[in-house]
Amino acid sequence: MKDWVKINFLKDRKAAKDEAEHISSLIANSLYPAKFTMPLTLQFELTSRCNVHCKHCYNVSGEDNAKIDAMTPERWKDFAKYLVNHGGIFQCIISGGEPLLLGDDLFGIMDILHDDGTSFLVISNGLLMTQEKAKRFAKYRYKWFQVSIDGASRERHDEFRQRKGSWDAAVKAVFMLVNLGIPVTVAHTVTPESLHEVDAMCGLAYSLGASGIILGEVMPSGRSYMNSEIMLSHEQRNILHEAIMRNMQKYAGRMQVQRSSGTKIQLLRAMGTPNAGAIIRPNGDIRLDCVAPFVMGNVISEDFCEVWKTKASGVWSRPEILEYVNSWEDVEEINHGRRNYL
Ligand code: SF4
């Protein structure tokens, strides 16, 4: 078998380089902003609480569900209003933990941004979805609504997410959302145990009416460090890449089959554009992205726009960030842990 992992990495790296050069030339000709005065996209990690306990969770959600997050629903609403009053954002990624645990407050937060024209990418495990909630979700604009399904069979998914009944709920959630015209993407994390199920997973997503499926291996971050048996070997990654390419061809024009790019590529792509986004964590931290563990400030103790103005512009070319990105190996990604804050 060809080394598809390496071939795809080189292809992705070239695409990231071409994209960066293209944007640089647009900036040089004043056709693209050299910096964004407000982020285009912000990810709201609305809660650290979760109702499942996935073996790979990148931010270790659900470890202490009794804990009250510093970013209470009221603080999130105030922050959403603040963003609207300062020019607004183009897109908001809603995640957690499990965002549906916020109940009515979730819709309250989304409404504030929706009324200002923001569109959404919601990431949920689907466990709390009901017909009534799905109907409420139907009013928003979406990049997509993402539901995670980590096995073509309920046994595999429930074991990986460590909660019985979670597969049935996720499958039902996809079905309810699709039936209301919401574009749903299924996220599927592939482990050595589920590697042989890629074709079946794509078939399941297609039969549920999903508009896309994203397949990828476990990100080396958070809880996956405690579960090394869920990581793929290089040989298994090659089998995965081949299976994804096969399914890309099979579903071309009917359902978008995507492979998630590796960490190094994600970082290289972010570096090639002016900083356009950040993550707000349940403790209020303004973090660079979900992989690079750099924190620019905190929305509870600092003025967000001031932090954005003074720290976000050119952030990806700072020496400590460059050192961090370069320290990721090209093909085999390595265990990193946390780094210095900005
Ligand atoms: S559903 Fe998402 S947030 Fe919750 S434990 Fe799983 S990966 Fe983490």
* pLDDT tens track for 184-228: 999 999 999 999 999 999 999 999 999 999 999 988 778 888 888
Tell me whether residue 333 is in a domain: no
For residue 335, pLDDT over 50 is answered with no
Q: What is the C-alpha to C-alpha distance for residues 206 and 174, in angstroms, rounded to an integer? A: 11
Whether residue 334 is predicted with pLDDT greater than 70 in this model: the reply is no
pLDDT of residue 253: 97
Q: Which atom of ligand 1 is nearest to the CA of 161?
A: 6
Which strands form 256-259's sheet, in the order they lie side by side? Answer: 256-259, 212-217, 184-190, 142-148, 119-124, 91-95, 41-45, 277-280, 285-287, 295-298
pLDDT tops 90 at residue 161: yes
Q: How confident is the model at residue 21 (pLDDT cuts 50, 70, 90)?
A: very high
pLDDT of residue 331: 53
Ligand 1 atom at shortest distance from the alpha carbon of 125: 1
- Which of residues 147 and 276 earns the better pLDDT score? 147
Q: Comparing 274 with 109, which gets the higher pLDDT?
A: 109
The C-alpha atoms of residue 102 and residue 88 are separated, in whole angstroms, by: 22
Q: Is the pLDDT of residue 258 over 90?
A: yes
Domain presence at residue 252: yes
Residues lining ligand 1, Cβ inside 6 A:
50, 52-54, 57, 61-62, 96-98, 125
CA distance 99 to 62: 12
* Mean pLDDT computed over every residue of the chain: 92
Report if residue 337 sits inside a domain.
no
Q: Is the pLDDT of residue 338 over 70?
A: no
Name the residue with the closest Cα to ligand 1, atom 3: 97
Q: Specify the pLDDT at position 61.
A: 92
Tens digit of each residue's pLDDT (9 = 90 or more) over 219-241:
877 888 888 889 999 899 999 99
Distance 56 CA to ligand 1 centre (A): 8
pLDDT at 63: 87
Is residue 341 included in any domain, yes or no?
A: no
Residue 342: inside a domain: no
Q: How many angstroms does the Cα of residue 53 sit away from the middle of ligand 1?
A: 6
Q: Look up residue 35 and give its two tokens.
A: 């910096």
Give the pLDDT confidence of 96-139 residue by residue, as tens digits: 999 999 999 999 999 999 999 999 999 999 999 999 999 999 99
What angle, 0 to 180 degrees and rounded to 10, lies between the N-to-C axes of helices 4-28 and 263-271? 10
- Give the whole-number percent of the chain exceeding pLDDT 90: 72
Atom of ligand 1 nearest to the CA of 62: 5
What's the pLDDT band for 266 if we cut at 50, 70, 90?
confident
In a domain, 23, yes or no: yes
* Spacing, Cα 96 to ligand 1 middle (Å): 7
Q: Distance, CA 163 to ligand 1 centroid (Å)?
A: 11
Whose CA is closest to atom 1 on ligand 1? 125
Q: Which of 51, 52, 59, 160 is the best mutation target for the ligand 1 pocket, counting ligand atoms within 8 Å of the beta carbon and taking the most?
A: 52
**Is 314 inside a domain boundary?**
yes
Q: Which helix (H) or strand (E) holds 285?
A: strand 285-287
Burial (CB count within 10 angstroms: exposed 0-12, middle 13-18, buried 19+), residue 208? buried
The residues, ordered by sequence, that sit 6+ positions from 111 with a Cβ below 8 Å of its Cβ are none
Asked if the model's pLDDT at residue 339 lies above 60, the reply is: no
Helix or strand or coil: residue 54? coil
In this prediction, residue 224 carries a pLDDT of 83
> Given this model, what pLDDT does residue 165 score?
97
- How high is the pLDDT of residue 173? 98
- Please give the residue range of the domain that contains residue 276: 4-28+39-327
Q: What is the CA(20)–ligand 1 centre distance, in A?
A: 32
- The CATH number of the domain holding residue 101 is 3.20.20.70
pLDDT at 97: 94
Total tally of structural domains belonging to the chain: 1
Does residue 189 sit in helix, strand or coil? strand
pTM confidence score:
0.93
Residue 61 lies in a domain: yes
